Structure 1
Amino acid sequence: MSLATILWVDDEIESLQSQKIFLQNKGYTVHTLNNGFDAIDFVKEHYIDVVLLDESMPGITGLETLQKIKEINNQIPVVLITKNETENLMDEAIGSQISDYLIKPVNPNQVWLSLKKIIDNKRLVSEKTNTAYQQQFRNLFMALNSSPDYNEWMDIYKKLVYWELEMEKSDSPEMREILQSQKQEANTEFFKFISKNYAGWLNPKTSNAPVMSHNLFKNKVLPTLEKGVPTFFIVIDNLRYDQWKSIQPIFAESFRIAEEDTFYSILPTATQYCRNAIFAGQMPIDIEKQFPIQWKNDEDEGGKNMFEEEFFKGQLKRLRREDIKYSYTKVVHHHDGQQMLNNIHNLLSNDLNIIIYNFVDMLSHARTEMEVLKELAADEISYRSITRSWFEHSPLHQALKKIADKKINIVLATDHGSVRVKTPYKVIGDKQTTANLRYKHGRNLNYEAKEVLAFRDPKEAGLPTPTVNSSFIFAKEDGFLCYPNNYNYYVNYYKNTFQHGGISMEEMIIPVIKMTSK
């Protein structure tokens, strides 16, 4: 069996016969051609693993041939073989995505090493990843079983995300499966941990509680404000930690990442609760007391996040920081993004600029509404990839690049994450029961106690009581809550979609990142 199929293109190919035999003896299949035109036709019709390409050939040069080959198949690795090492030639070649270059006269071992590096690189990276994860597996297993506290949970989740991203380099479905089942096991334990500790964290007398939505501003944003340096507090709605990791390299091109941290979203992990809590600096039960007209429960008519700026003014007043000069921008449509982009320089005179960006939320909801997005974001890998692609071309990225040369601080955070749901749980409720898939509240809820975390008294979870005798339930792990009527239809419709509102590491342990100008 051939190790790989090589195409070697050189106008003096006859003089390279000994090299060809050397590579064939090493197990490669080698095709040889003496001009670029034939090479282009050959690549159109045959599967090739690597092209070895002479740079200076009569008729059509190596660089022109390279460009045509890349147009046919961008993925084929090309090794450029050149007589001269002039800088602009190298720049042009590297800009055209060569995988390696060799200077003539080439030595057979040199060619062989280059091929080995290109062809084996994928396999070696994959093997190294698998071995490293196997060594880590035991440590993660032990960490899970040593009753972790909230800091250790954040650590465990970050490690699992790290391995999930590393596994993308690996082509071992078995290892991915092992990681997935370890992540599932972690979520099972995480649910027990939240069930046991959540209500306690909300007790004002508790000194040992994590940073959560309602004290995020006070603990993470306020301390970064400094005189004469504008701080941008950017909330990208529904951004999981792994999605942050996929856009991190784009931020790192323009900014220095000073602190990469996580915090806990409150329950339900849904925009109208978490984001209002972030801006009000209060739990929903207190927001409702202070702003009875503006606070809207799930079943109330009207927008649920219309009053964030009003809530924020209330928070500044309580913190006695009404001196802060701030702006508030909300991007819900592409048009809002363009406006923000055009206005970004005017924001530099403020102490604080709040930018709320709704993209990821629109995507995850659309993910259930639109069949095409079900295809595009079918799993975590593609969900991350869409997020990265969106951010790279977003007005937000363009706006931040525009001011990257100014002295600014950025705090990037989110309101909650999301989880891909797979396990349906039956819930029976009356007409007033809410429609959310990961949490519900209503008066006469019937459910399996072990499938949810229930608060018969919403006050214990810091939540308003929408109607007398209302209780709240939150789905665990990858569960979603369905009514018995039309059960099979809804189960099939929502299975494998990204949802939020319940209890999972993906929804609750979410990023807060501090960045500064380089």
Structure 2
Amino acid sequence: MSKINILWVDDEIDSLRSQIMFLENKGYHVSALTNGYDALDFLKENIVDVVLLDESMPGITGLETLGKIKEIDQQIPVVMITKNEAENVMDEAIGSQITDYLIKPVNPNQVLLSLKKIIDNKRLVSEKTTTAYQQQFRELFMALNDNPDHRGWADIYKKLVYWEMEMQKADSESMTEVLSSQKAEANTEFAKYISRHYADWLKPNAKDAPVLSHTLFRDKVFPHLDPNVPNFFILIDNLRYDQWKTILPIFSESFRLVEEDTFYSILPTSTQYARNAIFAGLLPVDIEARFPEEWKNDDEDGGKNLFEEKFFAGQLQSLRKDMRFSYTKVVNHNDGQHLVNNIHNMMNFPLNIIVYNFVDMLSHARTEMEVLKELASDEISYRSITASWFEHSPLHQALKKVADKKINVIVATDHGSVRVKTPVKVIGDKQTTTNLRYKHGRNLNYDPKEVLAFRDPKDAGLPRPNVNSSYIFAREDGYLCYPNNYNYFVNYYRNTFQHGGISLEEMIVPVARMVSK
């Protein structure tokens, strides 16, 4: 590796010769100057990796020099070194985008540590992260083979997401590939686990079932509603657990996290089924029985999520809860602006439900629009674009307007999504549904090893749209394609984010409780 070039600017540079020698013995190349004017001329002609800058110098001060350095190169790291401990000086230096701040007298190890933080930070983080993951790799491997229950699977998935996000910081291609293989293995075993246990979870009085979509309000929301303060239940559609972890720091600027957990989305992991189940507190087969006019099957005309408010009122009635609530759905920019303008009025309700559709729309738009395929080409960029959206969203603006009030916030989703890579061939008649991660129809032909099938939809808590209808669900990263124009659809949908099937990413989803700071 070539030597790192340090520029040290101090009007008493002769007194620092021993420190300069110390750094040079550590492999750094140090150029020493006594004033800001010479430093600026030097930076115009030479490549410098870090500037060590004295604050108190005659002629042009360190702060003045700092401003002009940033005009030459906005990105160059600058460490301010000063005898002046005045808060206003520190504030001004930090506001001018210094990288570090040292108080004289400094010893050589202080300077070395600062340089390591700046220059070697990425390498050190990468080495530490890959070493730590290597140590936990075997633990995760053993957990996968230890017959985990639904709590164990949630824990495994959380750990995989943690390491996925740590590897993003480390930027280690080889270890990222190892982690991807382990995650793929986990999804394979998870699909087997769901195949064995899912139907049992749905039986009345099921023992040791996880919190599912239709029990979310009962188990995770109603017990925590404070009758003395406004409560906000925010459902961000199609939000994976890793996307939640990406936007959590933005929430944390205004709210304190009280509890973070996960629950299991029902199958199909799609808006029509999972979200309606959340608000109705019922499985889809029971929603159809109780609300036959409002429930729409995939092959029926009409909106599939138009009656969530009515479903929720029905859930309150069934539980004998007398509670005033507001319901707001945001599906476009105008809805978002209305939310911002109306958020203070919601403070008059004990419970406010906000359904925000952006992430789901992003997922679908990414499939259709080439530019979004570039912007969200993989999980890392998908997380990044989600964080950018939330930071600038009307939802964030609205919450900031009431963050200084005493409120409770519960954030959840209806399902996640998975990046599909493996085509699975399915044959069906004209009535077969078009979703890539699940299908139902009367004459489905498929390889039973590649899907989870329910010949009787009631076993999965689902309506039977037609006589002899059955459901199949894609597993892991598979996506269901018909033989007609097979190669075209395989290539068109490969590496798109889809939902409706069985994967850790789609089924194990976040629910978090926060309070005002």
Superposed counterparts of 1:237-276, under 5 Å = 237-276=237-276
Q: CA, structure 1 residues 307+74, in 2 after alignment: closer, same or farther (shift >3 Å)?
A: farther
> What do you get for the CA RMSD once the two structures are aligned?
2.1
Q: CA, structure 1 residues 463+75, in 2 after alignment: closer, same or farther (shift >3 Å)?
A: farther
Counterpart position of 1:98: 98
Q: How many residues align?
A: 517
In 1: Cα distance, 2:5 partner to 2:477 partner: 44
Counterpart position of 1:156: 156
Deviates more, 1:235-244 or 1:37-46: 37-46
Give the partner amino acid of 1:177.
E
Counterpart position of 1:346: 345
Sequence identity, in percent? 76
| 1:448-484 deviation digits (Å, cap 9, x = unpaired) | 1111101111111111112221211111001111122
Q: CA, structure 1 residues 27+301, in 2 after alignment: closer, same or farther (shift >3 Å)?
A: same
What displacement does 1:103 show? 3.3
Q: CA, structure 1 residues 36+466, in 2 after alignment: closer, same or farther (shift >3 Å)?
A: farther
Superposed counterparts of 1:167-186, under 5 Å = 167-186=167-186
Counterpart position of 2:455: 456
Q: What SS does the corresponding residue of 1:384 show, helix, strand or coil?
A: helix
Q: What SS does the corresponding residue of 1:253 show, helix, strand or coil?
A: coil
Instruction: Tell me if 1:138 matches 2:144.
Output: no
Decide whether the 8 Å contact of 1:428 with 1:446 is kept in 2.
yes
Decide whether the 8 Å contact of 1:391 with 1:397 is kept in 2.
yes
Give the partner amino acid of 2:180.
Q
Instruction: Tell me if 1:432 matches 2:431.
Output: yes
In 2: Cα distance, 1:84 partner to 1:24 partner: 27
What displacement does 1:48 show? 3.4
Q: What SS does the corresponding residue of 1:450 show, helix, strand or coil?
A: coil
In 1: Cα distance, 2:3 partner to 2:249 partner: 34
In 2: Cα distance, 1:112 partner to 1:511 partner: 42
In 2: Cα distance, 1:334 partner to 1:41 partner: 50
In 2: Cα distance, 1:262 partner to 1:6 partner: 48
Counterpart position of 1:411: 410
In 2: Cα distance, 1:44 partner to 1:366 partner: 46
Deviates more, 1:184-193 or 1:19-28: 19-28
Q: After the TM superposition, list the runs of 4 or more consecutive aligned residues in structure 1 that deviate by more than 6 angstroms.
A: none
What displacement does 1:76 show? 3.1
In 1: Cα distance, 2:74 partner to 2:307 partner: 49
What displacement does 1:38 show? 6.1
Give the partner amino acid of 1:87.
E
| 1:150-208 deviation digits (Å, cap 9, x = unpaired) | 11111111111111122222132111111111111110000000011111111113132
Counterpart position of 1:324: 323
In 1: Cα distance, 2:225 partner to 2:423 partner: 45
Give the partner amino acid of 2:432.
T
Give the partner amino acid of 1:290.
R
Deviates more, 1:34-43 or 1:143-152: 34-43
Instruction: Tell me if 1:62 matches 2:62.
Output: yes
Decide whether the 8 Å contact of 1:2 with 1:28 is kept in 2.
no
Give the partner amino acid of 2:285.
I
Counterpart position of 1:118: 118
Q: CA, structure 1 residues 182+348, in 2 after alignment: closer, same or farther (shift >3 Å)?
A: same
Counterpart position of 1:147: 147
Superposed counterparts of 1:5-44, under 5 Å = 5-10=5-10, 19-33=19-33, 36=36, 39=39, 43=43
In 2: Cα distance, 1:110 partner to 1:205 partner: 63
Deviates more, 1:52-61 or 1:331-340: 52-61
TM-score between both structures, scaled by the size of structure 1: 0.94
In 2: Cα distance, 1:330 partner to 1:14 partner: 67
Counterpart position of 1:395: 394
Decide whether the 8 Å contact of 1:2 with 1:29 is kept in 2.
no
In 2: Cα distance, 1:37 partner to 1:272 partner: 66
In 2: Cα distance, 1:331 partner to 1:73 partner: 42
In 2: Cα distance, 1:261 partner to 1:241 partner: 10
Q: What SS does the corresponding residue of 2:252 show, helix, strand or coil?
A: helix
Give the partner amino acid of 1:359.
F
Decide whether the 8 Å contact of 1:441 with 1:472 is kept in 2.
yes
Q: CA, structure 1 residues 193+428, in 2 after alignment: closer, same or farther (shift >3 Å)?
A: same
Deviates more, 1:228-237 or 1:103-112: 103-112
| 1:258-316 deviation digits (Å, cap 9, x = unpaired) | 11110000001001111111111111111111222211111222221111111111111
Gaps of 5+ in 2: none
Q: CA, structure 1 residues 437+33, in 2 after alignment: closer, same or farther (shift >3 Å)?
A: farther
Gaps of 5+ in 1: none
